[in-house]
A = this chain, B = another copy of it.
Amino acid sequence: MEIKIAQDLFENEAKLADANKERMKQRGLMAVNIMGTPGAGKTAIIKNTARLLKIPMSVIEGDPASSIDTDLLKTIGIPAYQINTEGICHLEAKMVAKALDEFEVPPRSILFIENVGNLICTASYPLGEALRIVVVGASEGDDKPFKYPDIFQTANAVILNKMDLQAAVDFNLERFYKGIQSLHNKLPVFEVSCKTGKGMESWVNWLAVQVATFWAR
């Protein structure tokens, strides 16, 4: 019975996500699900991307509590909408549907959906996104692909942030790539530092290609 409940749950989630996807597609919104550990720099990635890529962007923020990231984004002129999950460890399609009802997002734009800081359950809940990006920080160690394989397996790209700390934390790049390759051969990995700005250009160029392709469909 447990398996049956789980199947129904995930079928229902997939349906709700498809409805979001259709709704966003009709308005030309490319949704980017930003997943990662707490403190990996998800908001910093969005902030820096908005500075470099002159395409309209807005953000749905998911956190168990607080509106810290939403407040920060608004102060720098990025429209943002806060979802507080009240103890739920991931965003769900119905939360995003509600946000789409209430949040005025400009058509033909990028809609970042910053998920709750969690490398596990976020991977199992589709939101209707066009892209799934995993953000991890070098300071969290080079073993994450081995320990949390599912989220890397379902991602479209990985952003390895905080590369300015690589030497200080003895991060072994070779081991990290070995982990990635063991799961998903062609996954693009962008080594960046939000602090110094290094590496951000490659990520932004890749993202621009995805947006252009999305709009060309």
Contact = CB atoms under 8 A, between A and B. Distances in A.
Contact of A37 (B39, B68, B124): B39
B37 A147 contact: no
Contacts of A165: 139, 165, 168-169
Given A162-B169, A165-B169, 19 more contacts: A37-B140, A38-B141, A38-B147, A39-B136, A39-B139, A39-B140, A39-B144, A40-B140, A64-B148, A65-B146, A87-B120, A89-B118, A117-B148, A118-B120, A137-B139, A140-B140, A164-B168, A165-B168, A169-B195
23 contacts: A38-B119, A38-B140, A38-B144, A38-B147, A39-B136, A39-B137, A39-B139, A39-B144, A40-B140, A64-B149, A65-B147, A68-B147, A87-B120, A87-B150, A89-B118, A117-B147, A118-B119, A137-B140, A139-B165, A140-B140, A164-B168, A165-B169, A169-B195
Number of identical protomers: 2
A63 B176 CA distance: 17
Contacts of A147: 38, 63-66, 68, 117
Does more than half of chain A's interface fall in helix, strand or loop, or is it mixed? loop
A143 interface: yes
A64 B152 CA distance: 13
Kindly state the interface size class of chain A when it binds its partner. Answer: 35 or more
Nearest to A72: B143
Interface of A: 37-40, 63-66, 68, 87-89, 116-121, 124, 136-137, 139-141, 143-144, 146-150, 162, 164-165, 168-169, 195
B38 A146 contact: no
A40 B139 CA distance: 8
Contacts of A164: 168
A118 B90 CA distance: 11
